[in-house]
Chains A and B, each alone.
Chain A
Amino acid sequence: MPLVVVGKIKGTNVIEALDAVANRAGLSLGMTLATARALHPTLLVAESDTEADRAMLEHIADWCERYTPCIGLLQNNGLVLDITGASHLVGGEVALLADIKTRLAAQGFTTCAAIAGTAEAARAIASFGDSRIIEPGMEPQRVAQLPLAALSISENLILSLSRLGMKRIEDVARQPRAPLAARFGRDLLIQLDRVQGHIIGPISPRRPVPTYIAERNFAEPIGHDDDIHRSILTLAADLARLLEKHGEGGRCYELTFFRTDGAVRRLTVETARPLRDPKGVMRLFQEKLDTLSDPLDPGFGFDVIRLSATKTERQDIAEPGFDGRDGIEEELSALIDRLCARFGANRVMRLMPRNTHIPERAMQRIPAQHGNAALTIDWDEVLAPEEPPTRPIRLIEPPEPIDVIAEIPDSAPIRFRWRRVFHAVVKAEGPERIAPEWWRGEQDMMTRDYFRLEDEEGRRFWVYREGLFGRETTMPKWFMHGLFG
């Protein structure tokens, strides 16, 4: 079955990518999903996920750093590598191109790649020609036959030029430059020159430069643990000064080790609250380093170590309070951070209320570091704050069946037996009626009527009747679901 990936353009679903089967079935890029479905009702459709695409491309780019550190992203589906002075490391351009293609093919990617004097020329050839290496100075000839789309100019411009009879790059290149510029602007000529390899356009490297960076270059590469530790601490202190100047604290730190042989190793830690204390930062990285499954291998040593704060947040200087409880929050988050760095962020959990009527679902576990943002409750609590809680703090899980004497249809128990003990009810309040969440599709779920009961000894219970008498069942069952402290 044909597979297409669709994305929304101005509210309509449009094909953004397709497989070979879909292509053979007559579907094409830019076609609306509605048309595609009319053509092929049994189409497999995946919604495009730009972030995932981007992540995948980043991943490939990361991988490509083995060839060169200077890598730019081209929209969401291309990479440009500046291999100036780098190709000899893998045995020349031919070997490099072959190496990239083979290795990526092994990962399941088909690659269209080209090497040329300028990024634009290489991109044009790779997109509209075939994988090849353009000898220096040969670019104008090699791109001449390509369609105007290879110029990477606007749709309208392509249409206008082709209406004038210019359909290939050579048709445009042949014209005198001044009249062209007068009509279509300088950008067309610049683009033309770049594609023809006459001028070099800038490559914007993909890694966004973090605002806060501390870096050390070592004339003599370092490899010893102590040296590394000391360097990290110094870097953290440098960074802390920088952050403090701007009133910021880091929520995410990245530590990059550049090995003399070109290998790169990155470590990241996250924090639950803004942090800039160098010792704190150091401690988090220490936890990380200690628990690395594949330890840091300095090889012949690191010549650069860089610490950057990739995510920051406002952090004001703390005013001491009067109650002497200063730092409890901080200590707790420091503890959470350390536990997370050691065991992993998804292993340290805290309880959070969840938006549902069903008591046993009303709490959930979430990663402790994410606590603050998720703490907002955007639903109305049923009771006024001054009233006592209507539900016990802990629930009996699973609820325990009890024997009850109560009037039908929905009165409170008069007496009941729980764990072989009889209780006579002296006070009762209820019912609080909660119907099942029908969309979960659980079979035989019935409405519950919750009651708060007090027996003659003053013990308080939370019990429920399962099943509405008459409407759902003729034999409601009773359960004990919790105790009030």
Chain B
Amino acid sequence: MVHAWIVRVTTPYAELATTTNFSFLRGASHPEEFIAEAAKLDLKGIGITDRNSLAGVVRAHVALKEIGAGAAGLKLAVGCRLVFADETPDILAYPEDRAAYGRLSKLLSLGKRRAEKGACLLCLEDLLEHKEGLLLILMAPIKLTSGFECSLANLAPLLHRSLWLGASMPHHGSDKKRLAKLSELSSAHHVPLIAINDVLYHIPERRIIQDVLSAIREHTPIEKIGRKLEAHAERHLKSSKEMVRLFRHAPEAVSETIRFLDRARFSLDELRYEYPDEPVPDGKTAQQHLIDLTWVGAAKRYPNGIPDAIKATIDKELNLIEQLDYAPYFLTVNDIVAFARSRDILCQGRGSAANSTVCFCLGVTSVDPAEIDLLFERFVSAERREPPDIDVDFEHERREEVIQWIYNRYGRERAGLAATVISYRPRSAIRDVGKALGLTEDVTATLANTVWGSWGKGISDSQIQQAGLDATNPMIRRAVAIAMEIQGFPRHLSQHVGGFVLTRGRLDETVPIGNAAMADRTFIEWDKNDISALGLMKVDILALGMLTCIRKALDLIAQHGGKRYDLATIPREDPAVYAMLQRADSVGVFQVESRAQMNMLPRIKPATFYDLVIEVAIVRPGPIQGDMVHPYLRRRQGKESVHFPSPSPAHGPADELERVLGKTLGVPLFQEQAMRIAIEAAKFTPDEANKLRRAMATFRRVGTIHLFQQKMIDGMVHRGYDPDFAARCFKQIEGFGEYGFPESHAASFALLVYASAWLKCHHPAAFAAGLLNSQPMGFYAPAQIVRDASDHQVEIRPPDINASLNDNTLEERVDGLLALRLGFRQIDGFRNEWANRIDTARGAFYPNVETLQRRAKLPRRALILLAEADAMRSLDLDRREAAWEVRRLPDAETLPLFEAANADELAEEPLVTLSPMPLGEHVVADYQTLHLSLKGHPMLFLRDIFAGESISPCITMASLPHGRRVKAAGIVLIRQKPGSAKGVVFMTIEDETGIANLVVWPSLMERFRRVVMGARLVCVDARIQRSPEGIVHLVVETITDRTAALAHLSGETMPTSLARADEVKRPIPEGTRPHPRDVRILPKSRDFH
């Protein structure tokens, strides 16, 4: 049997079955990699077909544009592999035009909306309903069953001229026979045969990755998974020549791919974004409506007449908005903000367009444009034609109301949250890969733990060894190598924190919408990069705890006879507020309460609003990695003269950067400035600068970053800039990467810094109550917030059944000052509803616990919590007595008979004498129930012990000279190991007098790791380090764990028998139970890595 055949190398081919890694745990290459490889192989076209998903197509679309392969003749077909829940074989679906694309997207939305998150449930009928304009390829299974032949026979007449029979060469031993059979079926049913390779990866080397992904997907170690893996590495992208060779017995199948490609005309460029109509009243244009609203708002903002300068700015901005046709965008944002305002939900806009005068007039932001000079056209640029960017922060407790309102107003088919692509990071990668390769959980966990931070640079051999593992073990090495390679692989889609896409037409005809894990949430398949690449509009509806706190504090002030303030009417530029911030007295203040910010405050000494903008922006990865912080500080303190980097005279005016860097003393601090430098100094086009920013944001983009780096640095150096400055500018942009922090955001945040600082300065009780009532949020635990308030002369009153509400409240004192009354919410495990019942049924007074239980209908558990939190003092019962009392009460609802009688139902009982609780034990119990104590600091009771060891109280540290050796001890509040600090650990400890800040150098870490990472009470020998601004750190020399001393607090010592441990195994009954003494006394420290 001899075949004579001639290779027609000229026959072109397009691969139409491509599974990317957006078919999670199936495809083993990025869409970008497929595009690049298809271009390299000179294919005519490539069709991206992920499983019931369009999540990867935008990336492919963008990649095609970026490498300019479209011009070289590579065409991208957008499609999807439909996988059915019934017996139907997989079908590839490609839309012929925009309308058909809409139907495909709707079909997928339908399947996704009726399945749970991440799944899609489709039946053949669904496809038939949406089939118009869809080009369909029926995928032949490897084993040609009669069921498949049935499917083909059924579908062929229904899908006339739009159905193809997809044939692949699976290399399963009888390919030729199978192809002949398919040929036969094809002509019998008049369905053209089309060649596909059904690829899973772009190059054969990825087979290993695909195998591992399969093992992860099937939750089976790779050694056991057997035939669920592909038998070989053939499912990679192949050249036309190779496909022609493989299909030499059916050459028409190869040429059919090109005919197919010609019909799959739809391109993502055809998606046209249109703003929703709702915000514009009938009979008015959007622009006119915006103009009207702006001037009405302006009149309100400037009751004494609008200044001419403002008038001019408004006109200029409105013109630009008209020119770019952005009025509907501003109106949409305004629509949402207006709703929030109507519900008294505090909100604040930020982002490139938010700090415009128009937004100030609309009330989208409260940052007065007079206070900060932000050039509007710098952010809404005519060149970029990207939609403007406004994020709106809402009170975190009430954001959901806004979100549900948006869904209601625009409908689920027109509004959807953007997606966030959750990708493999070093930890998750090594964990999954390790499991798939059959490493034990312990080894995998150890490997995962060697990666600090989220974007480590992989795991080095020495790291493996340090973790106590064998770096030469091939299995471990292989696991690490594979884990490195799948970093950045998408793992699943999740909802974006708050980015909403709203459209005029149906959104589900643009992109599939599916259910989120959270109830009542739906999100689309594309993330923010996809959205911006296609020019869709997104509004970020974000949650901010500080807004909740500020609103609650402002409410309390108004309730207690103060003025009714809002963000715009809080008195501005108050020197007392700045004086407080300069002292770094900023516990609880938005953004500037962290250790690093507290160190920065006395250095920057903010005195104006713009100083706060800088303060917010400077302690960020961008300026820190760009090494810009110290130059700025030196210039600010007058230690270094202000000059502006300039090009050599031949290349441009010396002051070309002065306009960019003027406000920041010649040092770039903001993201905008860094981008501007790329444009001005390295002569990037705005478009290139934008690409650079995007390349930074997504780490894995196929190797374009170093091209930009070279271009920018070379460009600047070539034009005569200092190479060092150029390199630092680039590093800064790198630092902005994912956490870009532009000036416009900083300005909006600075307003909240000011507002919260003003509250802390003038209304400390209301501020503390606001903070406590908005927990969990911020950097400090309730204990520190309460202590700080108390340090600012606020009287703190304990929770009590006859005085407290659920929230923390204010009480007026005889001297007119306000005291802070702790609420029941501070009691661990106490329910809101119980608190409300206590309040409503209180009447004048609860005389005893029986009445409390009867009237408020509290279960016994609630009463026990109250008693153990010592909240019954007004009944003349201390913690122990109260606990004894309430335990006697029956648990059920009051017996009806007794309720009728309304009488005390408990009989007399013999008198029991309880030993009084020592104060130290009270403090411990306070911490256990309330996480704080008003009775004293735990260290107070240990002071005698420590004083004997010549340990000084923390408060004395501030006055000691630089270099002095000291001993200090305290409870560990916070442990931090910032990524930018090269392994230095910062600890904050507290005693009854105050706090002390410890610095532990990496060299000490190995010796003291155990103590540093685990102790709750430490004692240190340290040296005082005092900065010129008077900031004091204790540089640790030795550190010891004194946690055991806490045991003294509970009054007596226990027989120590459990301390013994066996060499082998303890055959002691009940041995796994922690000793009562080991019950956690102090709340856990807050650790930040």
Contact = CB atoms under 8 A, between A and B. Distances in A.
B560 interface: no
A455 B64 CA distance: 51
Interface stretch (B88-96, B671-679, B1024-1032, B1057-1065): B1057-1065
A430 B169 CA distance: 11
20 contacts: A17-B1065, A17-B1071, A22-B1061, A26-B1010, A28-B1078, A30-B1073, A41-B466, A77-B1068, A128-B1058, A130-B1057, A147-B1054, A164-B914, A179-B912, A182-B909, A384-B144, A387-B174, A431-B171, A439-B211, A441-B475, A447-B232
A16 B1079 CA distance: 17
A43 B469 CA distance: 11
Interface string B1063-1077: 111111111111110
A167 B228 CA distance: 60
B1076 A149 contact: yes
Given A383-B143, A439-B222, A110 B1010 contact: no
Contact of B1073 (A155, A175, A433): A155
Contacts of A202: none
Interface stretch (B351-359, B813-821, B882-890): B882-890
Contact of A29 (B925, B1009, B1072): B1072
A45 B442 contact: yes
Contacts of B284: none
A42 interface: yes
Nearest to A57: B1067
Contact of B884 (A16, A34, A145, A183): A183
A461 interface: no
Interface string A421-436: 0000011011111110
Contacts of B1071: 17, 29, 77, 127
A111 B1067 contact: yes
A183 B1069 contact: no
B651 interface: no
Contacts of A160: 864, 868, 883, 887
Contacts, number: 228
A130 B1057 CA distance: 8
A354 interface: yes
B468 interface: yes
B204 interface: yes
Given A41-B467, A163-B880, A77 B1067 contact: yes
Contact of A26 (B468, B883, B1014): B1014
B232 A434 contact: yes
A252 B93 CA distance: 58
Interface centre among B475, B1060, B1065 (most CB of A within 10 A): B1065
Given A16-B1072, A147-B1075, A382-B172, A108 B1064 contact: yes
B638 interface: no
Contact of A435 (B232, B1055, B1072): B232
Interface in B201-238: 204, 207-208, 211, 222-229, 231-234
B223 A123 contact: no
Contact of A149 (B864, B879, B1013, B1075): B1075
Contacts of B475: 441
A364 B914 CA distance: 72
Nearest to B215: A439
Interface of A: 5-6, 13, 16-20, 22-23, 25-26, 28-30, 33-35, 37-43, 45, 47, 53, 56-57, 60, 74-75, 77-79, 108-112, 123, 126-130, 145-149, 152, 155, 158-160, 162-165, 167, 175-176, 178-179, 182-184, 354-357, 379-380, 382-384, 387, 390, 426-427, 429-435, 438-439, 441, 447, 449-450, 452, 471
Given A165-B915, A355-B227, A159 B1076 contact: yes
Contact of A47 (B172, B229, B442, B1054): B442
B207 A152 contact: no
B1054 A163 contact: no
Given A25-B1010, A179-B909, A152 B228 contact: no
B439 to A, nearest CB: 11
Contacts of B204: 471
B1 interface: yes
Given A164-B883, A380-B143, A179 B1013 contact: no
A206 to B, nearest CB: 14
A218 B177 CA distance: 76
A40 B864 CA distance: 39
Interface in B863-903: 864, 868, 879-880, 883-884, 887-888
Contacts of A30: 1072-1074, 1078
Given A110-B1062, A165-B915, A382-B142, A184 B887 contact: yes
A69 to B, nearest CB: 20
Contacts of A179: 888, 909-910, 912
A312 to B, nearest CB: 31
Given A29-B1074, A357-B226, A182 B883 contact: no
B1009 A439 contact: no
Contacts of B1054: 147, 167
A37 B1010 contact: no
A129 to B, nearest CB: 7
B840 interface: no
A427 B177 CA distance: 13
Given A75-B1069, A158-B1076, A147 B1055 contact: yes
A23 B1055 contact: no
A126 to B, nearest CB: 7
A53 B1072 CA distance: 14
